[in-house]
Each structure stands twice: as structure tokens, then as C-alpha cells.
Amino acid sequence: MSEAPAPRGPSPGAASPSPLISPEALLARLGDPDLRIVDARWYLGRPGAGRAAYDAGHLPGAIHLDLDEDLSARQGPGRHPLPEPAEFARRMGDAGIGSRQTVVGYDDQGGWVAARLWWMLERLGHRHVFVLDGGLRGWTDAGGTLSTGIPAWPSSRLEVDGGWTGTIDRDALRQRLGRLVVLDARAPARYRGEVEPIDPAAGHIPTATSAPFEANLGPDGRFLPPDALARRFHELGADGERPVVTYCGSGTSALHHALAMRLAGLPDPILYVGSWSDWSRAGYPVATGPEPGPPA
């Protein structure tokens, strides 16, 4: 993959539909025949646990899509490479998700897997896709019930708008270190290199700033207001002066920042799809500790 000429998304201050839907608004839409709710729960190092959680109870009418099986390619850079657009469109269509349906994704970990579904569908031209603000907790707190029924949606057709845009590969990223704002969405201990549960090297990409995705959320698990998000990203250096690249372990929680920056009215960031799972296997320089470090 290579960097797109220009990421999509609004310029600062531009009006744009929110990528979020509140639990209250979703409750009011239950029963809409064109509504498609997707349970995107997935847990690092626990294959099948997301589906098991879905089977135990999920939003009424929701299907389950798995990060490994449905939202990733079998091969490519990193642990969760993007699938070919046509193949992804076929998978979604077979699951009953087409261009005319409204799609709402949710999970129970702050929306980081649901944000990947949102980003993937929107990048390929879907105009009616949202993340449930507050996720499963927000739903139950708002009085929503859970179900164990599994819907059978008829197949549909997802029209794709070209290929993936707004991405960068590891070689292009390395060449531009020092000229980009690089945000690491992982937990601070992984950024500092104190722990590494799954990838072969511990630490972070040189020049990257620690920006754990959970800080985009309030105590209630919902996203912070747009002005608070804008302040956060400005403090991280994402002020619109330089392009922003987001990464995480495998290109998933990094997209929580894409959603948060959209809410904040900032330009969309560029995604390093392979993320740490790709960089850490390339033999490239690694920084450790709390500081970003010099360019590699």
C-alpha cells in the first residue's frame, strides 16, 4: 500500500455528518428494515471469544463480524492487512450489507473495532455507516435489551468507490519520519517498550507520540465532545500543519483516532495499516521509553 494523494474528510471547521449514533437514537430506529447492526467484538489473543460473547447476548437484530475473518485479508503487511476491496464488498454483501442500508457497528471496548468497520465501509464509498457511541455499555445504560436471536439478512450489493485511500506503507513512513505527526494508539506500557504481548519487538516507531485511544473517551465510555477532542489532538501536535499518521498494533485501534479526529473537525489522518506488527518484523529501528526519539 502507498499513501493516498489526499486523505478524505472535512477540512477544519467544515460541517460533516457525525460518524456516531447515540444509543437513544438507535433505540428509536429498531425495526427499520434497512438497518444493519454489526457486533464487532474481538479480543486480542483470544480467537473466537468475540463470537462467543455475541452468542451470549447482543443487540437485537445484530450479526457478528470478526476482525480476523471478515475485516482482514489472509496475507499482507501486519496481523490485520486490509482485504482487496472487491473481496471485502463481496463478504459484506453476502452478510446482507449493501450500499443502501444504514450500518451501525459496536463493540464493548470503546469502539475501536467498530471504528475499523466504519473506516473500511466509508473509505469504499458507503455513506450511511456509524459507530454506536458508548458501545454495548451505552446501549444497556440507555435501557436497551440484549438478544440471542441470529438474524438472516438477505444478501445485498455493496458498490465500492475505487480502492483504499489514506494509507501509508512502512517504507514510505520511514522515509518521512520527522516530517509527519505520528500517533501511537496503543497502551502506554507497550509504547514505552515495557511489555509486548504479541509482536516480536517492544517499543515504538521513532518520532511517534504516545496517544492511547482510550483517552478519546469520557468516564461513561462515550466519545468526548468535539472541542475536547480538538484540544487533545492539538496538544499531540495534530493541528493541521503537518500530515498525521496513526498506528497501533495491527491497524485497528489506530482508526479510533480517525473517528475522533473527524468528530473534532480535523483532517482525516493517514493509516499505517501494518502498524507495529509490521514495523517490528522489518528490522527497522525501534525507540523505547517515554520520549518519541529521533527519526530512524
d(CA 68, CA 8): 26
What are 206-248's pLDDT values in tens digits? Answer: 999 999 999 999 999 999 999 999 999 999 999 888 999 999 9
- 5 φ/ψ angles, rounded to the nearest 5 degrees: -55, -40
- Model pTM score: 0.93
What domains can be seen in the chain, in order of their start residue?
Answer: 20-141 (3.40.250.10), 167-279 (3.40.250.10)
In this structure, how many other beta carbons lie within 10 angstroms of the beta carbon of residue 132? 28
Average pLDDT, the chain: 93
User: For the chain, what is the total number of helices (H) and then of strands (E)?
Assistant: 10, 10
Q: Is 135 a catalytic residue?
A: no
Task: Name the band, by pLDDT with cuts 50, 70 and 90, for residue 4.
Answer: very low
Task: Give the residue-averaged pLDDT of 26-52.
Answer: 95
Helix-, strand-, coil-residue percentages of the chain, each rounded to 5? 30, 15, 55
Q: What is the pLDDT of residues 106-120, one digit of tens each?
A: 999 999 999 999 999
For 52, 122, 181, the CA distances from 207, given in Å and listed in that order, are: 39, 29, 8
Sheet holding 20-21, edge to edge: 20-21, 129-132, 102-106, 35-39, 62-64
Say which of 248, 258, 264, 271 is annotated catalytic: 248
Dihedral Cα 283, 258, 191, 172, nearest 10 deg: 20
Q: What is the per-residue pLDDT for 16?
A: 58
